[in-house]
């Protein structure tokens, strides 16, 4: 019976440790997501004419290939 109580206590400690670790990962994920959203908004606001070179392909070129 004492052995079962020890195992239960160990399992409860493991649950607490894993819960703390999960909360840290959730916080890190939220921070990363916020940063990525900020970068997306920043780059989405930039004009494409300064980013895409004038000779870039902007349409489907496969239909022009001949065998």
User: For residue range 11-61, what is the model confidence (pLDDT) as tens digits?
Assistant: 999 999 999 999 999 999 999 999 999 999 998 888 877 777 777 776 766
Kindly indicate the confidence band of residue 64, based on its pLDDT and cuts at 50, 70 and 90: low
Kindly indicate the confidence band of residue 10, based on its pLDDT and cuts at 50, 70 and 90: very high
Domains in the chain, number: 1
In a domain, 16, yes or no: yes
pTM for the full model? 0.58
Q: What is the pLDDT of residue 36?
A: 94
In a domain, 40, yes or no: yes
Kindly indicate the confidence band of residue 67, based on its pLDDT and cuts at 50, 70 and 90: low
Q: Using an 8 Å Cβ cutoff, are 15 and 21 in contact? A: no
In a domain, 64, yes or no: no
In a domain, 63, yes or no: no
User: What residues make up the domain containing 3?
Assistant: 1-44
């Amino acid at each position: 019976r004492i052995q079962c109580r020890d195992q239960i206590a160990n399992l409860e400690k493991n649950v607490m440790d894993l819960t703390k670790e999960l909360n840290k990962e959730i916080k890190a994920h939220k921070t990363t997501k916020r940063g990525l959203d900020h970068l997306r908004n920043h780059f989405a606001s930039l004009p494409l004419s300064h980013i895409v070179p004038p000779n870039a392909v902007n349409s489907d070129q496969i239909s022009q290939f001949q065998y």
